[in-house]
Amino acid sequence: MANDLKIALIGCGRIAGHHCQSISATQGVSIAAVCDLDIEKANAYSEQFDVHAFQDYRQMFDAVPDIDIAAIITPSGMHLEHTLEIIGDFGKHAIVEKPTFMRPGQLQTAFKCAEAAGKRIFPVFQNRYNKAVSRVRQAFQTGELGDIRTVSVKLRWCRPQRYFDMASWRGTFSHDGGALTNQTIHHVDLLRHLGGEVDRVNATMRTLGVNIEVEDTTVATLTYKSGAVGTLESTTAARPDDFEASISFVCSEGMAQIGGIAVNDLQIFTPDPSACEANSEDFKRIEGHGAVYGFGHTEMYQDIVAEFKKGKPYPVDQDDCLQTLKLLHAFYRSDEAGNWVDVDSDDESTRLGISNEDISNLYRTPRN
């Protein structure tokens, strides 16, 4: 314990409990403190994991000076502000939950700050660690599936009005993004993590099932630099429950499809059908709400320990994360332009990640 990396959590929403469980299951790291503007939320995790709770993260850093890393689990639109402060003012490393930052330019600003301070930023894309994802990626690397011909993402989930009414940041362009940014970001990431770099996209977005400013539905076509083509359907307007969440690949030597609640079920793998059972994981047995997050956070923390203790680079670097954010923004830019757009562009969406000080002020910790 004495030589453990000390992790503090800023933001104690639902996924914070999963971070706490993952840290507790990982040798070489421990929870130093938890913090939330709603002290009752922080107290709940404080009691469960026997750590100090704070309402003000600045007071937390003063009271617990040996914190090494802060996990930023606040509303997405607050990630940049919190990252810059905990790195620049307090000299801590940062773990940043999905989608990391709301805009590619924000990501570049954050990494520039980290480089100047000699600190690290660890983006969270935990589904990359799933056995099914790893097996399909291995098949592409070895040529087992051959060349990719078509790619398809289908996410059909249910998020009714009451989900968005729970918090002011939800369903906003400034702090949340729609179904594509919040619920489908891991599939967007896997489009390129598994399929390679996307060249161009053509997207149409709609808000069909709820009264919010962001989209709850996206239908898109995409072309890959390799020549492959793909489609994406993302919606939280399904009723009355979550249904499909899959990514599939038709290739020259076979087909692979991953489904499940969190891309954890290898449903089709034609080169070796027996690999389906061997590389599928049952997330339903994870305590609390962990089924939607899977086991990947534990492996992520193991990789963070490996970087500090063994000098093994963390597998998601700045450029890797940047390319996922550029792809995300390309879908929004295409909808805004009403046409095809190039993914490899410095242009950003005119909507996603725009500033909203009224909402930010609700989630800022006042300075004493």
Indicate whether 36 pLDDT > 90. Answer: yes
Mean pLDDT of the chain: 96
Span 324-341, average pLDDT: 98
Say if residue 193 is in the same domain as residue 288.
yes
Q: pLDDT of 41-65, one tens digit each? A: 999 999 999 999 999 999 999 999 9
Q: Same domain, yes or no, for 227 and 160?
A: yes
330: CATH: 3.30.360.10
- Report whether pLDDT(217) > 70: yes
- 142 and 245 fall within a common domain: yes
Owning domain of residue 175: 128-294+316-342
Tokens of 345: 């562009």
Within a domain: 359:
no
Proportion of the chain above pLDDT 70, given as a percent: 98
Q: How many domains does the chain have?
A: 2
Cα(107)–Cα(204) distance, integer angstroms: 25
Looking at the structure, tell me whether residues 171 and 209 fall in a common domain.
Answer: yes
- Single residue among 126, 147, 177 that ends a domain in this structure: 126
Q: Pick left, alpha or beta for residue 76 (phi over 0 → left; psi -120 to 50 → alpha; otherwise beta).
A: alpha
Per-residue pLDDT averaged across 268-284, rounded? 95
25 has pLDDT over 80: yes
Question: Residue with structure tokens 């940047």?
Answer: 322
> In this predicted model, what pLDDT tens digit does every residue of 89-137 receive, in sequence order?
999 999 999 999 999 999 999 999 999 999 999 999 999 999 999 999 9
Q: Is 227 inside any structural domain?
A: yes
Looking at residue 290, its pLDDT comes to 59
Bridge partners for 342 per DSSP: 200
277-332 pLDDT tens trace: 999 999 877 766 557 788 999 999 999 999 999 999 999 999 999 999 999 999 99
Q: Are 86 and 72 in contact (CB under 8 A)?
A: yes
Tokens standing for 110?
């954050």
Mark whether 39 and 141 lie in a shared domain: no
Interatomic CA distance for residues 367 and 254, integer angstroms: 58
Assess whether 167 and 112 both reside in one domain: no
Q: Does the pLDDT value for residue 185 go beyond 70?
A: yes
Whole-number Cα distances in Å, 239 to 24, 209, 210, 325:
36, 9, 12, 29
Using a pLDDT cut of 90, give the percent of the chain over it. 94
Q: Are 184 and 326 within one domain? A: yes
Looking up residue 60, the CATH number of its domain turns out to be 3.40.50.720
pLDDT for 288 equals: 62
Q: Are residues 142 and 187 in the same domain?
A: yes
273 by DSSP, 3-state: which?
coil
Does residue 317 or residue 367 have the better pLDDT?
Answer: 317
Domain boundary among 126, 148, 172: 126
Handedness of CA 291, 174, 13, 217 (dihedral sign): negative
